Structure 1
Amino acid sequence: MNAVDFSEVERKYDVDAASVLPPLHELPGVTWVDAPVDQSLDAVYFDTADLTLAAHRITLRRRTGGDDAGWHLKLPSGVDGRGPDERREVHEPLGSDPELVPAGLQQRVRVLVRDRVLVPVVRLRNHRIVHVLRGDNGAVLAEVCDDSVLADRLGADPLRQEWREWEIELVDGAPELLDAVAEAFAAGGVRRAGYPSKLGRALGDRIPAAPPAPPATPTRSSTTGALLLAYLDAQMRVLVNQDPLVRRDDAEAVHQMRVATRRMRSVLATYRDLLPNGLANTLGDELQWIARVLGAARDNEVLHHNLARSLSSEPAKLVVGHVRKRLDAHFAADLATAQQAADVVLDSPRYFRLLDALDALIAEPPFTALAKKPAKSVVPGLVKRDGARLRKAVRDARAVPQGPDHDAALHEVRKIAKRLRYTTESALILSPKRAARLVAAARLVQDILGEHHDSVVARGVLLTLGMRAFIDNENSFTYGRLHATEQFRGAHLESRFRSAWKSFPKSVL
């Protein structure tokens, strides 16, 4: 069975044994309330020994009883503008092993848990009385639950607690119903619960601190280190958000995660003197490794799409032999290999240690004295240095005759333009207009030469497939036509690059 993923909006309230629910049928929009239903729920919560999930407001449990028995993973909504009342909830079936967390749920938290073991940390037994609030035509607006909880904190420092709470969860009702319930409860002296979740309350004095807040948004008066940290933190958050999607073979997530790693590597290379003992180079090498692994699958899909589109534009009478079949088979095999390699890497200790190192750098950067200097006196020089590298690379490429070495030189121009773009992004606050103009120009060069590189790689694939067809006694005419098309496309793209370069900004910041 596939996981069920939906949003949950709920609020919790502390009550004592004498508290009585107000007349729920009098709430605005409520037509009637179903007869109460008793449920006996038994849930075991899983986390790492240091409570990594709880620190990130994530709960993972296996619950029996009620009408939604199974494994439940609750995550922050991750959507701007939505408050703490809303979370995403993912359900999977109970399974036969009460301590084996389903692989699909593990994938969603692996980037945080890494290679730490998920173990039972809390057991909650709950006698629940459910009141279903209905509106017009019998629609379920919300459920109000009266919970009597017995909680046991597990492990070396056990703790038992009992309490009662009320919980309202929206189903198809409007958010205003939550406020109406809050007013009705407040009239009886009932206030919001002091803990965000039952798990948080059960953990007692072991509830972990929240992860560090993002670095302050840089200003024109910020230090050089502050600019670097803010940029790294933003890209690290992209990586953490995209990692679970990459594990589910989401092509766009692969692209976004690879771009985040490349951005981090680029700025670390440019700001390398802010960090001691070659740390920037070490992290950069590891980021290059993970970007290369992620890129294999993405590049495969892009190349397959481009060649399939080119083949589709050919007149039918000029498509000779099993060209599409060969294309599809070639890229299917390469894609399977690339995805398998990515799956292995994303569960490797090497990847987890890279994440640990990036977390440590952002939390407590071991900056050199240069990082404390004003960004406006340091960063323009760094951007100027990257701009000079780009101009030299363009001159070098012009001096190389047409052929494989020339194509490689243009690819080097693209990589340096990309680094200049990302470095300048980190400095946008210092000179917004100039920086934005430079970012746009560098991106245009990067995009044009990226397509050029795709064309070069496509020609290599077509040559290989054409030779295989020839060896198998098939007509290789169509591969030759496609190869010529790619040659023409490459020449056109190089012409576009030369035109774009003429208007490349002479000044930087």
Structure 2
Amino acid sequence: MSPSHSIEVELKFDVDAGLPAPDLTGLVEGSTVGEPATYLLEATYFDTADTLLAKNRMTLRRRTGGTDAGWHLKRPSSVPGGRKETAVDFRDAADATAETEVPAELRSQVLTVIRSAELVPVATITTDRTVTTVLDADGVSLAEFCEDVVSAESLLPGGGVNRWAEWEFELTGGDAKLLKRAKSVLREAGARDASSVSKLARAIGTQPLDDLVRALPKKASALGLVQYDLAAHRDALHAWDPLARENAYDAVHQMRVAARKIRSILTSYPGVIAPEMAAPVADELRLLGEVLGDVRDREVRLEANELLLAREDAPADLVKALIDDERVAHQQALKSLRYGLSTARYLTLLDDLDRLINAPIPGPLAHRPARDIVSDAVGGAYLRMTKAEKKLRKYSAWSPEWVEQLHTIRKRAKALRYTAESAAPLNRKALDRAGTEAKRVQTHLGVFNDTVVNRAHLAEVAANPGLSSDAVFVLGRMDAHEESRGRRAVKKYRRSR
């Protein structure tokens, strides 16, 4: 079995030991509570020696007892108040033969944080837990209320033993209204806001890392703006990395965008950070983009051809060629991506990117006002896009050279968009308008480029001598649909210009 994923949304409170729990019957209309169940939970928490996981709001543990014994990784989630939990049952952790051997499925999820550091036990926590389930009128679980008596021992140098009591209220099927009502009831009963974000943080005293840049000053330097933007996209790269490994929806695409935006900043502001520091990182990001691009391009092609085939009565050999074989190739590309994201080369790139943000070597333009340097960068990018558009007039419409020039315009528009977006913290409307204009161009020509690439693929499939005549006929219809889609996209582009 593969790891299971869930979003944990809960309230956490400190309480005095022995504080009686309130009656939770009637939290919502018709709700009742089940009979309390008691468990002894014993967990060992793992982190690096300098607690990088805890500082990045992540917890990794091996726990026995209760209803979900196994390995658990919790990390921030996009759901307000929620955390994403990935669980691996002991039976599924084939490589975790020892109690201190973290399963590969979870180790890969934290590589962007720990890099080459070793994961070691940092705390043991024993919890006497009493669980009461809140049920709706039909007996379906809405939430679980946990009364915990906790004993924790830090295994870090100078660590000690700590004991406390706390309450947790976790949604299992209820909504935000139930959470709000429970918060009020539990506070009235004597609960206090939790003094720490997790049991582990309380045990070892680790606090989350502060952001490198909380807010950009009004009179920021060019280097300050570049650091600010790089940090934001670096964080996005880190956030999408584990999701891309598990092939979550749109994750590869978003990770590729983050890598491209970092590279765009380094190339759009060449005099801000010394080239001997910026250029190697930009080169490595280009290679990362190619690996991500192989997976993403296959995703796009699969999606397009699934939609096209849905209109047709396609023979089995065509479905195999366009869908089944492509899915196999997509899985192979994903396998290559996962390997690439686990290499020392990728981890070195992350280290170099951190150094670029935290301790850059200033270039000759580093101390110029950000507003000036951004105006030059956006203006230059806009000029390059419009020059490419003027060059388009030299070619006959729909000729190979004309199509290739549209591809160049799309790339220039993308560069302009990313450069203009990097200036967003400065709140300059003229630059925002340039970015919006570039986005329209990129969107329309991006659709056209997708059809060009897919039509070439359809032609390759059609050239297969073993393909049935019915398949070739359907391929012709599909090509016509793609051609029409491409022409509509170009028409939209022309109208927008």
TM-score (norm 1): 0.82
Matched-pair contact (CA < 8 Å) for 1:383–1:420: yes
By how many angstroms is 1:431 displaced? 5.8
Alignment-derived partner of residue 143 in structure 1: 145
Distance 1:48 1:100 in 2: 14
| Alignment of 1:428 onto 2:430 | no
Alignment-derived partner of residue 94 in structure 1: 90
Alignment-derived partner of residue 3 in structure 1: 4
Alignment-derived partner of residue 59 in structure 2: 59
| Closer, same or farther: CA 472–374 of 1 in aligned 2, 3 Å | same
Alignment-derived partner of residue 260 in structure 1: 258
Greater Cα offset, 420-429 or 329-338:
329-338
Tell me the secondary structure at the aligned position of residue 20 of structure 2. Answer: coil
Q: How far does the alpha carbon of each residue in 1:280-318 deviate from its partner, in whole angstroms, 9 at most, with x for none?
A: 32222222211221121221122233244345546x6xx
Q: How far does the alpha carbon of each residue in 1:125-166 deviate from its partner, in whole angstroms, 9 at most, with x for none?
A: 34x1526375776777653424151x33336x3644142323
| Alignment of 1:121 onto 2:136 | no
| Closer, same or farther: CA 165–273 of 1 in aligned 2, 3 Å | same
Letter of the 2:360 partner, please give it.
P
Q: How far does the alpha carbon of each residue in 1:250-307 deviate from its partner, in whole angstroms, 9 at most, with x for none?
A: 2411111111111221122111210013433222222221122112122112223324
Alignment-derived partner of residue 505 in structure 1: none
Note the 1:35-74 alignment, pairs <5 A.
Answer: 38-74=38-74
TM-score (norm 2): 0.84
Q: 1:295 aligns with which of 262, 273, 293?
A: 293
| Alignment of 1:153 onto 2:151 | no
Alignment-derived partner of residue 167 in structure 1: 167
Alignment-derived partner of residue 334 in structure 1: 329
**Which protein shows a greater Rg?**
1
Alignment-derived partner of residue 449 in structure 1: 445
| Alignment of 1:379 onto 2:371 | no
By how many angstroms is 1:45 displaced? 0.7
By how many angstroms is 1:423 displaced? 0.5
Q: How far does the alpha carbon of each residue in 1:155-206 deviate from its partner, in whole angstroms, 9 at most, with x for none?
A: 6x364414232333345553333343334336xxxx55544333223325xx
Gaps spanning 5+ residues in structure 1: where? 502-509
Q: 1:181 aligns with which of 164, 167, 186?
A: 186
Tell me the secondary structure at the aligned position of residue 468 of structure 1. Answer: coil
Greater Cα offset, 404-413 or 347-356:
404-413
Distance 2:60 2:164 in 1: 22
Matched-pair contact (CA < 8 Å) for 1:246–1:253: yes
Alignment-derived partner of residue 283 in structure 1: 281
Matched-pair contact (CA < 8 Å) for 1:145–1:167: yes
By how many angstroms is 1:105 displaced? 2.8
- Number of equivalent positions: 481
Matched-pair contact (CA < 8 Å) for 1:36–1:129: no
Greater Cα offset, 417-426 or 134-143:
134-143
| Closer, same or farther: CA 62–307 of 1 in aligned 2, 3 Å | closer
Matched-pair contact (CA < 8 Å) for 1:3–1:104: no
Percentage of identical aligned residues:
32
Letter of the 2:47 partner, please give it.
D
Alignment-derived partner of residue 506 in structure 1: none
Greater Cα offset, 292-301 or 448-457:
448-457
Distance 1:484 1:423 in 2: 36
Distance 1:331 1:23 in 2: 57
By how many angstroms is 1:61 displaced? 0.9
Letter of the 2:434 partner, please give it.
L
Matched-pair contact (CA < 8 Å) for 1:424–1:438: yes
Alignment-derived partner of residue 387 in structure 2: 392
Greater Cα offset, 214-223 or 451-460:
214-223
Letter of the 1:345 partner, please give it.
G
Note the 1:236-255 alignment, pairs <5 A.
Answer: 236-255=234-253
By how many angstroms is 1:496 displaced? 4.3
By how many angstroms is 1:234 displaced? 2.3
Tell me the secondary structure at the aligned position of residue 366 of structure 2. Answer: helix
| Closer, same or farther: CA 120–368 of 1 in aligned 2, 3 Å | same
| Alignment of 1:202 onto 2:203 | yes
Distance 1:474 1:202 in 2: 68
Matched-pair contact (CA < 8 Å) for 2:43–2:61: yes
Tell me the secondary structure at the aligned position of residue 239 of structure 1. Answer: helix
Distance 2:142 2:252 in 1: 39
| Closer, same or farther: CA 45–328 of 1 in aligned 2, 3 Å | same
Gaps spanning 5+ residues in structure 2: where? none
| Alignment of 1:109 onto 2:110 | yes
Q: 2:229 aligns with which of 211, 223, 231?
A: 231
